[in-house]
Structure 1
Amino acid sequence: MTAHLTGTREEWLEARIDLLAAEKALTRQSDAVAQQRQALPWVKVDKTYRFVTEAGEAGLADLFAGRSQLLVYHFMFGPDYTAGCPSCSLIADGFNGIHVHLANHDVTLTAVSRAPLDKLVAFKRRMGWSFPWASSATSDFNFDFNVSFTEEQERQGTVEYNFQREPQMDWSSNPVVAGFAAQSGTTAARYLRERPGMSAFIREDGAIYHSYSSYARGMDAIWSMYPWLDRAPKGRNEAGGMWWRHHDAYEAPAPETAMFPHSCCG
């Protein structure tokens, strides 16, 4: 018998209506936060950044692809990685279905990483992705937007991530970090010199402005998996640690015929 609370349909409905009030309050709060986010002052981008894309060399303005708004996902794929970060890959799995819709609403969505373009293209093909992905290997873009760090910054304890100075820590023995680093084909130290994040830009009257950036759990909302897990009976169910991997690295699920034998399906 389950250890979880059980009840009648009437008791469930009463509890669900109570929860609905909390969900509606959260929705209204989310709307208010979105307005506050959009009211942030814009900062003009005067520095020249160069990228390498599948269409050739590009500047930041080129990444807009003719639209007025640009959303950049800072994808953890360092120069020495052999594969993209599993967490970033999970997030990017949700981009294929939405980047076309965003493009038709005056918003370009692109990923940017420090790995050379040939690595990005090869991994993109492996994952079956279609969204644009640019290499920032030849510019300071990742460093200026606080998602890439140097070994010297680590030694000096001057890594600033998620709007705060990060305490010096030895992550080499952390099994989660070690596991993700191994899946990315790099060491734990090199893995953590790249960090996830997203940044928003707008182009107006020929000028480009930075409007927003978010890091770490500030990006929970763009993990397409989590809104579903938060509604599953066991929630995120991550007491055993970070469980995900590249989508082509899971064991193949049992065929449907094993779940629904012909004898019961007619």
Structure 2
Amino acid sequence: MTNHPTAMQTPPIVSPEEWDDAREHLLVKEKALSRARDALAAERRRMPWMAVNKDYVFEGPEGNLSLLDLFQGRRQLIVYHAFFQPGVGRWPEQACIGCSMVADQVAHPAHLNARDTSLAFVSRAPHPDIERLQARMGWEHIPWYSLTDDFDADFGVDEWHATNAFIRDGQRVFRTYSTTGGRGDEQMGNTWNYLDITALGRQESWEDSPRGYPQTPPYDWWVWHDTGETEPDRD
């Protein structure tokens, strides 16, 4: 058993009834926070779009790809710039420790894919080094590409890690959101938080979204990641 420092100021010890009262009091504030987060996500869905008119090239396992290719045919794309490159941390053995922690938390992309959204990591490292790192760290489920041009600088992520969200309309690509720095990226990895930064959101019927946005009932789109199947008989 771990011995705690005697100077630690712990909360009071209370009865079950008192604990329930304290929990209910805190729950009121937690629900208010959830409503505030939902309102903020609704504002994100109304952010203006910025056209991406420059052609970018990424290196993948099968050769060069465009930004449009990274969508993998889906309507939305989330791109995380991870620092894995010469001069950073324990190159070439390790990526940035913070970016590595983010990668450890990334849920299976099948759940984003079920909402017509793709995820991609990009780094300055050559792609053979990225594949080696993915295999050693167990990150093979994350599509990860090598940067070859000014994509990182153009989107403000050349000196810090960051997450950018994009949407496409046919062959046209638009930037819809970005978050940079530790506190912005620390909540990424969870499927719900990823969807909440996209232009279309979770695409569920309860959300406050602009007219005409795609929406379905909650739960109907949930999948088992190994088969992609839903549970259509769920009440």
Would you call these one fold, judging by a TM-score over 0.5?
Answer: yes
Question: Hey, what's the Cα distance between the residues in 2 that align with 1:118 and 1:206?
Answer: 29
Q: Residues of 2 paired with 1:79 and 1:49: CA distance?
A: 21
Alignment match, 2:165: 200
Residue 155 (structure 2) pairs with residue 145 (structure 1)? yes
The question of 1:114 aligning with 2:124 is answered yes
Is 1:88 the counterpart of 2:99? The answer is yes
Cα distance per residue 1:41-92 (max 9 Å; x no partner): 0000001100001121001000001101000011111244312111111111
Structure 1 distance, partners of 2:132, 2:162, is: 22
Q: 1:133 aligns with which of 122, 140, 144?
A: 144
Q: Work out which of the residue numbers 56, 81, 84 in structure 2 matches 1:77.
A: 84
**Letter paired with 1:39:** R
Would the aligned equivalents of 1:50 and 1:139 in 2 still touch at CA under 8 Å? yes
Aligned length: 178
Percent identity for Structure 1 against Structure 2: 40
Structure 1 stretches lacking a partner, 5+ long:
149-193, 228-266
- Superposition deviation, residue 114 in structure 1: 1.1
The answer to whether the 8 Å contact 2:70/2:77 transfers is yes
Tell me, in whole angstroms, the C-alpha distance in 2 between the residues paired with 1:122 and 1:37.
36
The secondary structure found in structure 2 opposite 1:222 is coil
Instruction: State the distance in 1 between where 2:186 and 2:31 align.
Output: 19
Give TM-score scaled by structure 1 length.
0.64
Segments of 4+ moved more than 6 angstroms: none
What value does the CA root-mean-square deviation take over the aligned residues? 1.8
Distance (Å, rounded) in 1 between the aligned partners of 2:189 and 2:22? 28
Partner of 2:178: 213
**2:125 partner amino acid:** A
CA change 1:65–1:223 in 2 (3 A) is closer
Q: Is contact 2:68-2:171 (8 Å) kept?
A: no
Q: In the alignment, is the contact (CA less than 8 A) between 1:90 and 1:223 conserved in 2?
A: no
Structure-1 residue corresponding to 2:110 = 100
Choose from 42, 45, 53 the match for 2:60.
Answer: 53
Partner of 2:30: 23
Structure 2 unaligned regions, length at least 5? 1-5, 194-235
Partners of 2:67 and 2:131 in 1: CA distance: 19
1:38 aligns with 2:45: yes
Shift of 1:125: 0.7
The secondary structure found in structure 1 opposite 2:25 is helix
- 1:49, 1:139 within 8 Å by CA — same for their partners in 2? yes
Cα distance, 1:223 vs. partner?
5.6
Match 1:4 to one of 10, 26, 30? 10
SS of equivalent to 1:134: strand
Relative to its length, the structure with more helix (as a share) is 1
